């Protein structure tokens, strides 16, 4: 059976499920006492999150069994775990804003943010255990592995910030742990909730790994190519802040002479002035890293799509593929 899903259908389903997820999240953390424990958790969940990971959980379930209802508690567990990591990341990054609002540690204090985040981990597990399945051990293992791997990724990220000799392999390992694992875990957990077999789970995990990497490389690409004022980005913000991205680290392998010296200065000085962004972009264009990044994004996306081609439920599978294309800002 060959089902064709349009961009409009994917968007409509995403908006509908986004509302379902938000409604379900609003019923979490209803206790009022102690306020300093539960109010921060409610606050961060009320932010304008895209809910990409829980949506992928629901779509994975639909692609395996044709229904997502049994995966909702699992999806909430994934989203709560994700928001815990954001709360603690904001403390480490000393960030002031998230989704245009004061971060939790700024609105309350760091101690409240740490403690509330710790509670959210346990709450995430409680949600996963509400899933109607006899495979709770697998769900807990997936959440554990994702949590540990994300912490490894954050540690690697902090180490990379201090290093002047970071390589592209270091960067790819970091993003696969910090960003990619929770995306693949969201899909894997949705598969378990739908009683997927080992082969189906493997395909869902691979799909998540491929999409996760493509999504991050695309984010790096869009940063340097952004027009000021669009998408809330300042063009070249990563370069200005000295962030080690795929483009910066890979271009060091592809350049020499003055070009390489300028790129290395971004790392050595932990950033550069906004008026050098155009020069950096020109180097990226000359050395071919922008084209290479586009090729990686396209290749990973195509490989991800082909990976899930054999999942059993046609409609769920096509929505899963359609949402991947939506994330990659590509036409159907």
Q: How much is the pLDDT for 202? A: 98
332 residues of the chain, pLDDT tens digit each: 567 889 899 999 999 999 999 999 999 999 999 999 999 999 999 998 999 999 999 999 999 999 999 999 999 999 999 999 999 999 998 889 898 899 999 999 999 999 999 999 999 999 999 999 999 999 999 999 999 999 999 999 999 988 888 999 999 999 999 999 999 999 999 999 999 999 999 999 999 999 999 999 999 999 998 765 444 556 788 999 899 999 999 999 999 999 999 999 999 999 999 999 999 999 999 999 999 999 999 999 999 999 999 999 999 999 999 999 988 875 43
Q: How much is the pLDDT for 229? A: 45
SS (H, E, C) 194-215: CCCCHHHHHHHHHHHHHHHHHH
For residue 42, the Cα-to-chain-centroid distance in whole angstroms is 21
- DSSP H helical ranges for the chain: 7-26, 35-45, 52-65, 72-93, 104-107, 110-129, 136-162, 168-175, 181-193, 198-225, 237-240, 246-254, 257-268, 277-287, 289-307, 314-327
* 305-328 pLDDT, tens digit each: 999 999 999 999 999 999 999 888
For residue 210, the Cα-to-chain-centroid distance in whole angstroms is 12
| E strand or H helix at 101 | strand 101-102
Distance CA 48, CA 22 (A): 10
Select from 1.10.600.10, 3.40.50.2300, 3.40.140.10, 2.40.160.10 the CATH code of 7-327: 1.10.600.10
With contact defined as beta carbons under 8 Å apart, do 307 and 206 qualify?
Answer: yes
- Model pTM score: 0.93
Q: How much is the pLDDT for 328? A: 82
DSSP for residue 178: I
* 282-295 pLDDT, tens digit each: 999 999 999 999 99
Domain boundaries of the chain, sorted by first residue: 7-327
Sign of the dihedral through C-alpha 295, 154, 107, 112: positive
């Amino acid at each position: 059976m060959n089902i064709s899903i349009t961009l409009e259908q994917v968007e409509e389903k995403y908006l509908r499920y986004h509302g379902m997820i938000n409604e379900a999240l609003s019923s979490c953390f209803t206790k009022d006492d102690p306020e300093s424990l539960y109010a921060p958790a409610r606050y961060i969940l009320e932010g304008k999150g895209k809910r990409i990971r829980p949506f992928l959980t629901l779509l994975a379930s639909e692609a395996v069994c044709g229904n997502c209802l049994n995966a909702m508690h699992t999806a909430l567990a994934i989203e709560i775990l994700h928001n815990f990591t954001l709360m603690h990341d904001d403390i480490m990054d000393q960030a002031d804003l998230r989704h245009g609002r004061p971060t939790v540690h700024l609105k309350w204090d760091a101690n409240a943010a740490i403690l509330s985040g710790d509670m959210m981990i346990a709450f995430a597990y409680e949600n996963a255990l509400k899933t109607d399945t006899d495979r709770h051990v697998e769900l807990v293992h997936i959440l554990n592995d994702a949590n540990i791997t994300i912490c490894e990724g954050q540690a690697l990220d902090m180490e990379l910030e201090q290093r002047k000799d970071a390589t592209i392999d270091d960067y790819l390992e970091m993003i696969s742990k910090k960003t990619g694992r929770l995306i693949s875990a969201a899909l894997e957990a949705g598969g378990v909730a739908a009683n997927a077999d080992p082969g189906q789970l493997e395909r869902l995990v691979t799909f998540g790994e491929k999409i996760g990497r493509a999504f991050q490389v695309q984010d790096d690409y869009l940063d340097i190519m952004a027009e000021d004022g669009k998408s809330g980005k300042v063009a070249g913000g990563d370069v200005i802040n000295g962030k080690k991205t795929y483009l910066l680290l890979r271009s060091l392998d592809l350049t020499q002479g003055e070009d390489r010296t300028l790129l290395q200065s971004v790392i050595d000085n932990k950033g550069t002035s906004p008026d050098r962004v155009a020069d950096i972009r020109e180097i990226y264009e000359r050395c071919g890293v922008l084209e290479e990044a586009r090729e990686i994004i396209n290749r990973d996306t195509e490989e991800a799509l082909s990976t899930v081609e054999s999942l059993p439920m046609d409609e769920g599978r096509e929505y899963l593929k359609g949402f991947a294309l939506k994330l990659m800002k590509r036409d159907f």
